[in-house]
């Protein structure tokens, strides 16, 4: 199933004293290009890299950071946060969408720099603690397992629960599919007396290692219904502002360039529904290819 497989061809770089373990992949250099931070709406700020989202939600009693990009992204994210005038030690929680190297790689270093509590779903928390995904991850490859710096202490959060820091309240929405422990996050941001619903949507792409079937096989269960439900949940959320785990999936940089004092293109009440619709089409196309491949295999 080569046409359905992940194409990262990972090779872990050696760690140097005091530095983050570097992950190398076909897209890593492009993803990790520095990007200037920018305001999305109210107290919500983009602090990630050119290809990997990281978002800071700020408050008077402390801040919340979502996602950590690659291990080598840690200094870029920290620089962005501090260039906006915020302090690392004021970050109280670090949340994760899913524990792959390109979204959780820098969490351990950012936790050390801030002293923040790391929060994830139980399935994701296990991966963060162990530093590598298990065989239930669609991208798991026993011959080419990727690793991330381990996070020793991770607080587990149940579906529908919230993380609070003073007036800040961020709610978790379980969205398994891309990974078993995937989560999306919702909150409100306010400016000029108006509050909007913000959604940080986990990856909804059906990417996998060679030989994995979302529709199941003799060795693995069918997880397609669970994936469909996750996509449906995103489409039904209260959602004025969509932030995708990869900025290109919600055109974050295009919207930032078009933002003015009088117009905020980040505000798009159709954003989550559009993402869900495109994600659903991608998943159904993937499942159709799986059915065709299984039929071809059975006829041999």
- pLDDT band for position 229 (cuts 50, 70, 90): very high
Residue numbers of the domain that contains 162: 2-299
Give exposure, 166-179, as e/b (b: 16+ Cβ within 10 Å). Answer: eebebbbbbbbbbb
CB 166, CB 243: distance < 8 Å: no
- pLDDT band for position 1 (cuts 50, 70, 90): very low
pLDDT at 22: 87
Q: Are strands 44-46 and 55-57 parallel, antiparallel or unpaired?
A: antiparallel
Total domains in the fold of the chain: 1
pLDDT at 24: 87
| SS3 labels along 21-86 | CCEECCCHHHHCCCCCCEEEECCEEECCCCCCCCEEECCCCCEEEECCECHHHHHHHHHHHHHCCC
pLDDT at 13: 35
- Quick one: how far is CA 253 from the chain centroid? 17
CA distances to 91, 93, 248 from 278, in Å: 34, 31, 14
Instruction: Give the angle subtended at the CA of 269 by the CAs of 266 and 272, to the nearest 5°.
Output: 90
CB 164, CB 95: distance < 8 Å: no
Q: What is the DSSP string of the chain?
A: -GGGB-----EEPPP-TTSPPPEE-TTHHHHTS----EEEETTEEE-S-SSS--EEE--TT-EEEE--BSGGGHHHHHHHHHHTT--GGGEEEEE-S--SHHHHTTHHHHHHHH-PEEEE-HHHHHHHHHTS--TTSTT--TTS-------S-EEE--TT-EEEETTEEEEEEE--SSSTT-EEEEEEEEETTEEEEEEEEPP----B-TT--TT--SSS---HHHHHHHHHHHHHS--SEEEESSGGGGTHHHHHHH--SS--TTB-TTHHHHHHHHHHHHHHHHHHHHHHHHHHHHH-
pLDDT at 245: 98
Q: Are strands 194-201 and 241-244 parallel, antiparallel or unpaired?
A: parallel
pTM (global) more than 0.85: yes
How do residues 171-216 score in pLDDT, each as one tens digit?
999 999 999 999 999 999 999 899 999 999 999 999 999 999 999 9
Give the mean model confidence (pLDDT) for residues 94-120: 98
pLDDT at 48: 99
Cα–Cα distance, 62 to 87 (Å, whole number): 9
Looking at residue 129, which CATH number applies to its domain? 3.60.15.10
């Amino acid at each position: 199933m080569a046409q359905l497989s992940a194409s990262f061809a990972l090779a872990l770089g050696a760690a140097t004293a005091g530095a983050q373990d570097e992950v190398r992949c076909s897209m890593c250099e492009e993803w990790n290009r520095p990007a200037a931070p920018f305001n999305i709406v109210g107290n919500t700020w983009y602090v990630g890299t050119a290809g990997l989202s990281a978002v800071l939600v700020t408050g008077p009693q402390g801040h919340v950071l979502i996602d950590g990009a690659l291990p080598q992204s840690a200094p870029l994210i920290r620089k962005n946060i501090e260039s906006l005038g915020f302090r690392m030690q004021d970050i109280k929680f670090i949340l994760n969408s899913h524990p792959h190297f390109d979204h959780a790689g820098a969490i351990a270093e950012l936790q050390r720099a801030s002293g923040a509590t790391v929060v994830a779903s139980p399935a994701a928390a296990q991966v963060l603690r162990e530093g590598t995904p298990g065989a239930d991850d669609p991208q798991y490859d026993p011959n080419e397992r990727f690793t991330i710096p381990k996070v020793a202490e991770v607080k587990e959060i149940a579906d529908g629960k919230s993380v609070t820091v003073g007036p800040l309240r961020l709610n978790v929405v379980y969205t398994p599919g891309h990974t078993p422990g995937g989560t999306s996050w919702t909150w409100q941001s306010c400016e000029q007396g108006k509050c909007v619903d913000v959604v940080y949507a986990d990856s909804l792409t059906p990417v996998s290692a060679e030989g994995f079937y979302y529709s199941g096989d003799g060795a693995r269960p069918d997880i397609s219904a669970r994936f469909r439900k996750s996509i449906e949940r995103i489409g039904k959320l209260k959602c004025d502002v969509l932030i995708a785990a990869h900025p290109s999936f919600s055109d974050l940089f295009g919207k930032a360039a078009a933002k003015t004092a009088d117009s905020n293109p980040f505000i798009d009440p159709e954003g989550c529904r559009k993402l869900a619709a495109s994600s659903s089409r991608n998943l159904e196309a993937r499942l159709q290819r799986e059915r065709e491949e299984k039929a071809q295999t059975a006829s041999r």
